[in-house]
Amino acid sequence: MKVLYIVPYAPSTIRSRPYELILQLVALGHHLTLATPVRNGDTSNEGRWAVDPRVRIVTGSLSRFDRLLALGGAAVRGLPLQARFDWSTSFAHRLRRLVDAETFDVVHVEHMRGAAYGLPLLRRTPVVWDSVDCISDLFERAARQSASRQTRWIARAELGRTRRYESSLPWRFDHTVVTSAADRDGLLRLAARRRRANRRAQPRVSVVQQGVDAERFMPALASAHRDPETVVMTGKMSYHANVTAAQFLVQAVMPIVWSSCPTARVVLAGADPSPEVRALGAANPDRVVVTGFVDDLNPILNTASVAVAPLVYGVGMQNKVLEAMACGTATIVTSSAASALHARDGHELLVADGAEKFASRILELFSRPERARSIGAAGRAYVVSEHTWAKSAEVLAGVYESAIEARALSGT
């Protein structure tokens, strides 16, 4: 199968979904062309974005001026900013010329930020949209629960436009995929508001769940030492949901832990820590470490006593949870972070909501290292069995075949 895979940002081990799915699709024998706009117009070395030598790379320029122009156009047209955040007119033209010149069996386009690149190509070939998450659900929760007043204001301002735009997309694309059943249900609820006459009974929306590279994220040797009374949270630390989670952890949960265990430490590991996250470390320099970007999270996850994902709100399936579990580190999450998983509370991980309960779970694992080891081992077994990228790629390839078949039957 010949696939044009369009992403609004270059895949990497941090942006692992497109990176890993492309690798696995190539391993299945498909022919991939990866297309992505490049920030600040630097297309001088397209090869650096290659995830595999068998993947052809097509890039386009995305300058600051392009972005400002696109965001201004979105505001004028009543579109959400997400719909044009990574828009480059020159790159869109390049994609159309590419599809005119070559025959692709299917086009794959990722995220709301990339959706607009796929819409003009629908006249030429089947297009699958990887929504990843239901962004309207994310904004609705951020508007109510973010610790940042600015984030709450932006989410409220964008929510109506986001709902209108996102509700139309599953009807327009041949097939839509998301990371979790909750996100699928969210998109179908939105789409029901925009039901169209003389079209399918409902949009085609399938779950292609997140995976984890269990060879990259794996337990250290059995004799390896874990730092006592150390809690680690990983993730991109500029992302608003992670910022709120880090503040909840350090400001609400850890004071309860410290009252019983004053030597406990917190490690906040992830790229681009916001001023609010850096302030958590500055205010508690002996107890809170903010690492910034870490090239390899494995050692940090393997030396912590406990990994946590204290998300106050969020959508989709959390990579940070899968990676911690893959390392065999006992993991505590809120119900928000656990909602997309089939892992059992008390077996493969621990679920806790509210500062008191979350703190008690941390203290439980501190005091019972054998319990932490048992949960960590069960968590590792769960993700190795249920969350492989190979399995996700097989599901995605099936979606491609379904989209191609449906297009052929429709005669369009």
Per-residue model confidence as pLDDT tens digits over 251-267: 999 999 999 999 999 99
Sorting pLDDT into bands at 50, 70 and 90, what band is 15? confident
The whole-number average pLDDT for the span 83-110 is 95
* pLDDT tens for each residue of 240-299: 999 999 999 999 999 999 999 999 999 999 999 999 999 999 999 999 999 999 989 999
Amino acid identity, position 52: D
Mean pLDDT check: name the lowest of 3-7, 137-141, 196-200, 202-206.
Answer: 196-200
Q: What is the pLDDT at residue 8? A: 93
Q: What is the pLDDT at residue 224? A: 65
pLDDT at 200 over 70: no
DSSP 8-class letter at 249: I
Q: What is the DSSP code string of 20-62?
A: HHHHHHHHTT-EEEEEEEEETT--TTGGGG-SSTTSEEEEEEE
pLDDT at 56 over 50: yes
Q: What is the pLDDT at residue 64? A: 87
pLDDT at 45 over 50: no
| Coil, strand or helix at 396 | helix
Q: How far is it, in rounded angstroms, from Cα 118 to Cα 89? A: 13
Sorting pLDDT into bands at 50, 70 and 90, what band is 368? very high
Angle, helices 149-172/111-118, rounded to nearest 10 degrees? 40
For residue 326, the surrounding DSSP H or E stretch is helix 319-326
pLDDT at 405 over 90: yes
The whole-number average pLDDT for the span 359-382 is 97
* pLDDT tens for each residue of 105-122: 999 999 999 999 999 999
Q: What is the pLDDT at residue 308? A: 98
* Cβ-count burial 378-408 (b if 16+ within 10 Å, e if not): bbbebbeebbbbeebbeebbebbebbbeebe
CA 123-129-130 angle, 5° bins: 165
Residues of the chain with pLDDT > 70, as a percent, come to 94
Sorting pLDDT into bands at 50, 70 and 90, what band is 198? very low
Sorting pLDDT into bands at 50, 70 and 90, what band is 411? low
* Cβ-count burial 76-90 (b if 16+ within 10 Å, e if not): eeebbbbbbbbbbee
Q: How far is it, in rounded angstroms, from Cα 78 to Cα 252? A: 39
**Pairing state between β 230-234 and 306-309:** parallel
DSSP 8-class letter at 331: E
Q: What is the DSSP code string of 344-388?
A: PBTTTBEE--SHHHHHHHHHHHHH-HHHHHHHHHHHHHHHHHH--
pLDDT at 44 over 50: no
pLDDT at 195 over 80: no
pLDDT at 145 over 50: yes
